[in-house]
Amino acid sequence: MVNLSSRMGVVTDIQNTEECTRRNGGCYQMMAVNCDGFIHFIVSPETYFDETVCVGDAVIAFFDADAPAAAMQPPRLNALAVAKSRPERSVKADTFNRQLISSDGQLRLNLAPCTKILLKNGQPFLGNPADRSLIVFYGPTTKSVPAITVPEKIIVWC
């Protein structure tokens, strides 16, 4: 499973870089995000976006915390997924157990027929999302611990 971690900030720049263009034929971009200091996220054709992101958008960028990264400033991390930050919804990336409780014990998922469960390529996921790394988009929660929610959308990270 992937050790998903995230950083929230505002996109300040999106561009091709000579290094990415030379190495990958121009299909990769560098997205600068100001999150109390700049982080450069490398965006590939495999990076999942829930919607189009532009300079000035508040985003949550997800990356593999266990992936090797060059020791440079600002840090460069491979973006696995990017979601727009919105006040009416939350986004959580974590591993969820058989009871669909996050590994930190803070969120429990109650699946409903309206919950979209998708692979990162947008195709429906037909299996059980339990015991997997998930990116969960959700609205209101209960005040209990763990908080309980009916997610709007789940992206299964296979």
Q: Grade residue 25 by pLDDT with cuts at 50, 70 and 90.
A: low
Residue 78 has pLDDT above 80, yes or no: yes
> Is the model's pLDDT at 18 over the cut of 70?
no
- Tokens representing residue 74 in the block: 């600002």
Location of each CATH 2.40.50.140 domain in the chain: 4-84
Please provide the average confidence, as pLDDT, over all residues in the chain.
92
Percent of the chain past pLDDT 70, that is, above it, reads 94
Residue 127 is predicted with a pLDDT of: 94
Rounded mean pLDDT, 82-87: 95
State the amino acid at position 16 in one-letter form. N
- Residue 59 scores a pLDDT above 80: yes
23 — pLDDT class (breaks 50, 70, 90): low
Sign of the CA dihedral running 43, 96, 66, 58:
positive
Output helix, strand, coil percentages for the chain, rounded to the nearest 5: 5, 45, 50
- Report the predicted TM-score, pTM, of the whole model to 2 decimal places: 0.87
H-helix or E-strand spanning residue 43: strand 38-43
Residue 145 predicted with pLDDT over 90 = yes
Residue positions counted in the chain: 158
pLDDT of 27: 81
Residue 63 has a pLDDT of 94
Q: What's 4-84's CATH class?
A: mainly beta
